[in-house]
Amino acid sequence: MKSRILKIARLPAMLDEQLHARYTVIDAAEDGRDLSPATADIRALVANGESTVRRELIARLPALEVIVVFGVGYDGVDVAAARERGISVTHTPDVLTDDVADFAMTLLLGIARNTRVADRFARSGAWVDGPFPFTRKVSGARLGIIGLGRIGSAIARRAAGFEMTIAYTGRQPQDVAWPYYPSVLELATAVDFLVVAVGGGASTHHLVDAEVLAALGKEGYLINVGRGSVVDEAALAQALAEGRLAGAALDVFENEPRPHPGLLELDNVLLAPHSASGTWSTRRAMSNLVLANLAAWAEGTPLPTPVPD
Ligand code: NAP
Ligand code: 8YV
């Protein structure tokens, strides 16, 4: 008999098909709030990077053994509550690193060179009346990275190809040649482009606040491919609208799928719908890793990619 698994995330069709072929899949809303009472025998839960798996949901699943996240970020999962019950949590590190780093550079180049507005300008006929306004050179500029992990390091390697000067912050210095700044504020003061590559959760909430944006200054740019919760989005919208920041390019938002309304009409903003890892090959690799973690759980073998302790 197929195991019954609970799915609380929208997943790619290629993964959905495989899940349905191998398991009996119970679909619930993104945070499990429309869960039917028939949950006593559910032993596996599939979520994604945006899902919230709170203590209350875990408590409603008395037989739960594993939470499998389609995504590397698992800040929505109450890992402490899972651990208390001996429930394993897995995620999909590494396979998406290249795409997210590529996309961070896409956003950085796009906002600096104003490609969104340039496209509109070329299409609209405005070009007939004169040339496009000058933009900001990227090569050789100063880049600051918040979170020099898998993705942050991949961004740094790409930026080195643009001869950018690289610096970073995190909870502690790493064994790299790039200079370490002990705080986001000090890093923001020293760079032209500040990239968020850190995950969400209480310890990173609003690391980029009004003070950091002021330190980045009116010539500075913010890029966020980490989590929306890391940036005070209202403060960001205000700084951009008042010309106290040159621009921002964002893939993630505090209240997805609804970016702060103050960002929507601004030309010095480039927005993407949390799509940094959204290529066919990466989503296939993430799907395969989800299936591999579920298969290992079902067979009682070691899980390929558990979240770190
Ligand atoms: P990772 O390798 O664990 O890197 C996270 C980095 O953040 C580490 O270098 C860590 O360094 C630093 N960090 C952790 N807590 C911190 C804190 N409180 N203050 C400052 N720095 C802190 O993870 P990854 O694979 O690079 O992924 C990073 C994040 O990217 C994910 O968690 C996810 O939120 C996001 N992401 C977004 C997308 C997207 O579609 N936009 C896709 C994938 C991932 P220290 O431990 O030295 O502090
Ligand atoms: C995905 C992500 O978009 O891996 C993460 O943490 O945020 C992204 O890769 C997401 O998990 C899929 O919904």
- Read off the CATH number of the domain in which 76 is found: 3.40.50.720
Read off the pLDDT of each residue in 132-145 and give the average, rounded to a whole number: 98
Nearest to 82 by CA among 47, 110, 114, 108: 47
Assess whether 67 and 166 both reside in one domain.
no
Q: What is the pLDDT of residues 282-309, one digit of tens each?
A: 999 999 999 999 999 999 999 999 999 8
Same domain as 165, residue 18: no
Classify residue 304: in a domain, yes or no: no
91 and 101 assigned to the same domain: no
pLDDT by residue (tens digit) across 3-40? 999 999 999 999 999 999 999 999 987 666 667 656 88
Nearest-angstrom CA–CA distance, 215 and 184: 10
Report the pLDDT averaged over residues 170-183.
98
265: confidence class by pLDDT, cuts 50, 70, 90: very high
Longest Cα separation, the chain: 70
Pocket test for ligand 1, best of 79, 98, 171 (most atoms within 8 A of CB): 171
CA distance 294 to 298: 6
Per the domain annotation, does 307 fall within a domain?
no
Same-domain check for residues 76 and 188: no
**Tokens read off for 64:** 């739960």
Total domains in the chain come to 2
Residue 187 lies in a domain: yes
Active site residue 4: no
At 119-130, the pLDDT tens digits run 999 999 999 999
Query: How far apart (Å, rounded) are the C-alpha atoms in residues 137 and 292?
Result: 44
For residue 27, the enclosing domain spans 4-95+280-299
pLDDT score recorded for residue 39? 81
Contact at 8 Å (CB) between 190 and 167?
A: yes
What is the structure's pLDDT at 1? 84
**What burial class does residue 252 get, using C-beta atoms within 10 Å of its C-beta: 0-12 exposed, 13-18 middle, 19+ buried?**
buried
Looking at the fold, whether 235 and 114 belong to one and the same domain comes out as yes
Strand partners, 88: 66
Low-confidence winner among 32-41, 69-78, 90-99, 206-215 (lowest mean pLDDT) = 32-41
- pLDDT at residue 193 tops 80: yes
163 plus 256 within the same structural domain: yes
Q: Is 274 a catalytic residue?
A: yes
Helix, strand, coil percentages for the chain (3-state, nearest 5): 40, 15, 45
Distance 300 CA to ligand 2 centre (A): 26
45: pLDDT strictly greater than 70: yes
200 lines ligand 1 (CB under 6 A): yes
Give the pLDDT confidence score for residue 33 in this predicted structure: 65
In a shared domain, residues 18 and 33: yes
Let me know: does 263 contact 240? Beta carbons within 8 Å: yes
pTM of the model: 0.97
Q: What tokens does 207 get?
A: 């690391």
Q: Compute the distance between CA of residue 18 and CA of residue 41 in angstroms, rounded to an integer.
A: 21
Other C-beta atoms lying within 10 Å of the C-beta of residue 307: 17
Residues sharing a CB contact under 8 Å with residue 187, sequence separation 6 or more, in sequence order? 144, 146, 167, 168, 169, 181, 194
User: Can 186 be counted among the known catalytic residues?
Assistant: no
| Ligand lying nearest the CA atom of residue 199 | 1
Residue 305 in domain: no
Specify the pLDDT at position 114. 98
The tens digit of pLDDT for each residue in 224-236 reads 999 999 999 999 9
Cβ of residue 72 lying under 6 Å from some atom of ligand 1: yes
Nearest alpha carbon, ligand 2 atom 7: 49
Residues 220 and 141 in one domain: yes
Q: Is the CB of 76 under 6 A from ligand 1?
A: no
* Same structural domain, 265 and 141: yes
